Amino acid sequence: MLPNFEEFYPIAVIPMGESDRATFHEMWTKGGATATHWLIALEGIPLDHVYHWKVIVYPASTTVAFYFDCVRFSSPPLCSFHEASSLASDIKLQIKTDEFLAKKQLSLQMK
């Protein structure tokens, strides 16, 4: 099933660190997909006539193509855009310090 791209906001495309890249390619590379970056995005979901926001992380390539069918992280729906943006900033820091896949296992919910 295709994701909802109606309220879809790419936040950042960040290169994978060495550790994350090795772990990703070891565990999830399929069908010849070669990801070198992470795409962090916010997705709005209408729940009870109010938008809630999910933070989603996809593997991506240097051409900014991303693999929508290979979600590596999806938060539960959050009540505010600000809360989702704050979580996206935390994830961005984990990616930049090459700890995304390691920390995700401990502190964030996987899809």
* 36-58 confidence digits (pLDDT tens): 999 999 999 888 888 899 999 99
Instruction: Return the higher-pLDDT residue of 71 and 53.
Output: 53
Examine residue 111 and state whether it is found in any structural domain, yes or no. Answer: no
Examine residue 75 and state whether it is found in any structural domain, yes or no. Answer: yes
- The closest alpha carbon to 38, from 59, 68, 66, 61, belongs to 59
Which whole number is the average pLDDT over 83-109?
81
Supply the range of the domain harboring residue 31.
Answer: 8-105
Number of domains within the chain: 1
The DSSP letter of residue 96 is H
- Four-point Cα dihedral 21, 103, 65, 71, nearest 10: 120
Instruction: Return the higher-pLDDT residue of 52 and 63.
Output: 52
Q: What whole-number distance in Å separates Cα of residue 66 and Cα of residue 75? A: 18
Q: Is 111 exposed, middle or buried (0-12, 13-18, 19+ CB in 10 A)?
A: exposed
pTM: 0.83
Examine residue 3 and state whether it is found in any structural domain, yes or no. Answer: no
Examine residue 59 and state whether it is found in any structural domain, yes or no. Answer: yes
